[in-house]
Structures are given as C-alpha cells and as structure tokens.
Amino acid sequence: MTKMLVTGGAGFIGANFVHYTLQNYPQYEVTVIDKLTYAGNPDNLASVLDKIEFVTGDISDRELIDKLVSETDIIVHFAAESHNDNSLSDPWPFVHSNLVGTASILEAVRKHNKRLHHVSTDEVYGDLELDDPAKFTPETPYKPSSPYSSTKAGSDLLVRAWVRSFGIHATISNCSNNYGPYQHIEKFIPRQITNILSGTKPKLYGTGENVRDWIHVDDHNNAVHYIIEKGRSGETYLIGADGEENNKYIIETILELMGKDKTDYEHVNDRPGHDLRYAIDATKLREELGWVPKYTNLREGLQATIDWYTANRSWWEAEKAKVEAAYAEKGQ
C-alpha cells in the first residue's frame, strides 16, 4: 500500500478526490488533514470515515505537518481558501492558508524527501480577451488579478523554487472551473441551483459575458491521478476539458433544465476586478500523459449536479440564509 496525505480533503474537490481515489485506486491508504473552515464539511466524507484517517488541523501548523508528512509517501495538496469574493472582503486567511500553509508543507516535504502534488488554478494566468485565439498554456506568464489568485500564484512559485533550489520531487496542476457535488453554495453554479430550489432568483454579476472553462470535478481528479502516476517531476500540467461558456448561458441553461423561464434571473453588482475569460490548452496533459476527459456534455453534467443538490437539501439548506445575507450586503 502507498500512503497518501490529502490536504483540504473535507472541501469540494478534495472530498470528491478522496471518494474517487477509494473507488478507483485501492492501492492508496488515505489520511486527510483539514482545518474544517466554513468550506470544509466532515459530512462530505461521512460514508468513508471507516476507510480513512481524518485529522482536524491547520496546514500551517509546522509541527503537525512535519509529523504527518514524515508518515506518508505522497502528499496531494488541495487545502486553500478558494473563493475570490471572500478574498476581496478579507485577504488575510488567503495569505495564511495559501502561502504560509504551502510553505509549511514544502519544508516538511524537503526534510522527509517525499513526493508532492500541488493543486492550483488557471486564475494564476490572469484573464483573456473574449476573442483571443490563444488559451492558457504552461508557458503563459503569471498575471493574477485577485488576492485569491495572487496567493495561489505565490504558492505555485514557492513550489517551483523548492524544486529548483532544493530538488524536491513535486508536480503542479492548474485547473479551470470545477463543478459537481459537494461544491459550497457560495460558488456560481450551486448558488444558482439552490436559489431556484429556495424560490429566489439566480444572480448574474455584471453583463454575464464573462467566460469560464467548466470541467467536472471527477475529470479534474482523474487528471491529478494521471499526473501523480506519470507526470515528470518539476513539471506543470494544465487541466481543462474545453468547456468554455459565458455566465449568462450557464444561468439560462440551469433555469431551463429546472423547468423555469430562461429570463427569470437578476443582474446584481459586478465583482471588482472581475476576470473576463479563462481558457485552458490541455495539450501537454493529453499528449504527454494520454489523459482524456469523460464528461464532455456540460448540459448532462449540469443536470446531474442539479439532481444532487435537489436530493441533498439537508447538506446545504442550513447555510443558505447566511451565504445570501453576506452577498446581499454587497448588492450581489
């Protein structure tokens, strides 16, 4: 058995990763460390708690991380503050978890000579014009826009520096926007689905022309496994499934799939510094590692996600009023 430490495993992508790993990669013995911030929910792992070890803790706790890293073979690092809007209200948790937390993991990885995979975002590259024929590649210069994306960019640079200066064995992935089960209802797609399920209107920032490159969370996690198994040390791989759509289209499609009038949504205040478009060129991942996405029909993926939030009201309902009150204060 190979021992795997998953940071942030009680969050959206990390929890899906733990489930996906237990189902498809039985050679791993999984330990999760998660601080259980507002975004971490132990219920996300309730069905597998007897199959994993769960540690509640902060990745910036160097003593704890040193111990956990010394006991594992590979670290898959998801833990981060992840929401752009929150980073505009209070950047400090982002500096703490994304920068200090990642440095703490890197030092333990260096000391104990372990394998690291660092999970990052396409937002480190800034944004593209709507008509730009180029997409993000591993060679695109970093130009992050928000406190969230700049702390993620900083964490990537820390990993690169530890590879170059200390020769640690690490890979990095930068993925586009994920959707699927267990995503916090502060995020775009689950917010709109749960608005409709609660009898309120979906909320579109600005004009809705902003484009995101959507990927199902299982495709992201499958790609992470390809990189763990076949990726070259020190390399960066971009993960994306050619799922570009603008926000207006996504809201209209969710309304249509839920049997509502496609125009029944509200325009709200735009996000300050709102990135216009993200788009991933995943050629390196596809050609070098042979990865292909399984979820290529966004409407079907959205329908499955709508079905999950409809069937799991108890998972999100208690949080809904609080999340919406915070948005309402900002006119969003």
Query: Which residues form the interface with ligand TDX (CB under 6 A)?
Result: 82-84, 121, 123, 177, 187-188, 191, 203-205, 210, 212, 247, 271
Contact with ligand NAD (CB under 6 A): which of 4, 59, 116, 302? 59
Separation in Å, CA 33 to CA 58, 76, 133, 240, 298? 8, 11, 41, 26, 32
Contact with ligand NAD (CB under 6 A): which of 21, 82, 86, 192? 82
Is residue 122 flagged as an active site residue? Answer: yes
> Minimal distance in Å, beta carbon 152 to ligand NAD?
5
Separation in Å, CA 230 to CA 12, 194, 224, 226, 235? 25, 39, 10, 6, 11
Contact partner at residue 115 from ligand NAD, ligand TDX, none, CB < 5 to 8 Å by partner kind? none
Pairing of strands 115-121, 169-175: parallel
Q: Which is nearer to ligand NAD, 58 or 275 (CB)?
A: 58
Helix (H, G, I), strand (E, B) or coil at 213: strand
Contact 266, 200 (CB under 8 A): no
- Say whether residue 18 binds ligand NAD (CB under 6 A): no
**CB-closest chain residue to ligand TDX:** 121
Catalytic-labelled residue, pool 58, 123, 218, 324: 123
331 exposure class (CB count in 10 Å sphere: 0-12, 13-18, 19+): exposed
Residues linked to residue 115 through DSSP beta bridges, in sequence order: 74, 169
Is residue 319 flagged as an active site residue? Answer: no
The DSSP code for 136 is B
> φ, ψ for residue 7 (rounded to 5)?
-90, 145
Contact 118, 172 (CB under 8 A): yes
Report residue 121 as tokens.
């975002």
Contact with ligand NAD (CB under 6 A): which of 80, 99, 153, 285? 80
Contact 175, 223 (CB under 8 A): yes
- Say whether residue 250 binds ligand NAD (CB under 6 A): no
- Say whether residue 97 binds ligand NAD (CB under 6 A): yes
Is residue 327 flagged as an active site residue? Answer: no
Q: Which is nearer to ligand NAD, 201 or 319 (CB)?
A: 319
> Minimal distance in Å, beta carbon 220 to ligand NAD?
7
Contact partner at residue 119 from ligand NAD, ligand TDX, none, CB < 5 to 8 Å by partner kind? ligand NAD
Report residue 144 as tokens.
């992050």
Contact partner at residue 35 from ligand TDX, ligand NAD, none, CB < 5 to 8 Å by partner kind? ligand NAD
Q: Which is nearer to ligand TDX, 31 or 247 (CB)?
A: 247
Contact with ligand NAD (CB under 6 A): which of 39, 168, 254, 306? 39
Catalytic-labelled residue, pool 34, 58, 81, 122: 122
Residue of 288, 164, 277, 180 lying closest to 237 (CA atoms): 288
Catalytic-labelled residue, pool 148, 226, 265, 309: 148
Q: Which is nearer to ligand TDX, 257 or 326 (CB)?
A: 326
- Please say whether the dihedral angle defined by the alpha carbons of residues 171, 104, 160 and 90, taken in this order, is positive or negative: positive
206 exposure class (CB count in 10 Å sphere: 0-12, 13-18, 19+): middle
- Say whether residue 223 binds ligand NAD (CB under 6 A): no
Contact partner at residue 78 from ligand TDX, ligand NAD, none, CB < 5 to 8 Å by partner kind? ligand NAD
Catalytic amino acids? 122-123, 148
Residue ranges binding ligand NAD (CB under 6 A): 8, 10-14, 34-37, 39-40, 58-60, 78-82, 97, 101, 119-121, 152, 175, 177-178, 184
